[in-house]
Amino acid sequence: MKLRVALFSFLLLSSTAFAQQPSESDYPVKIHVISSRLLLFLNNGGTSLVQLLAVTIDGRKFELTSDSSEHRLLHPGDDSARVTKDDSEGSYENKKIYEIKFSNGKTKKYFVSGEFEQ
């Protein structure tokens, strides 16, 4: 009986550990969203909606893009993010995917689709 109680307690504690929200230190990149807009594309008789963000990261201006199945805009302001993929080659090319963590704990991935001179 004690073994069952101990096993149940272990499983309960381990499941709550996996359900915890990611910490702020997991998202070290500070992103400032300047603007957000939605674009509708027609393709092969269907449509697709993408979300475009104008952002600054470390004082540099970028455009980030993500698929959007909902008609929602991201409010301008500051968010935390992390780089989830970086296939950039040298200092002349940028091919990154950022995961932005919102204030409610949800996350969404965006890829760099534009880079602007300062």
> Which strand (E) or helix (H) includes residue 7?
helix 2-18
1-55 tens-digit pLDDT:
554 544 445 544 544 444 556 666 789 999 999 999 999 888 888 888 899 999 9
Q: Is residue 1 part of a domain?
A: no
Nearest to 50 by CA among 34, 74, 33: 74
pTM for the model: 0.75
Range of the domain at 62: 23-116
What total number of domains does the chain contain?
A: 1
Ordered alpha helix ranges (H), 19-116? none
Residues 97/83, Cβ–Cβ less than 8 Å: yes
Q: Is residue 70 part of a domain?
A: yes
Nearest to 62 by CA among 48, 49, 43, 81: 81
56-75 tens-digit pLDDT:
999 999 999 998 777 889 99
What is the number of other CB atoms lying within 10 angstroms of the CB of residue 17? 8
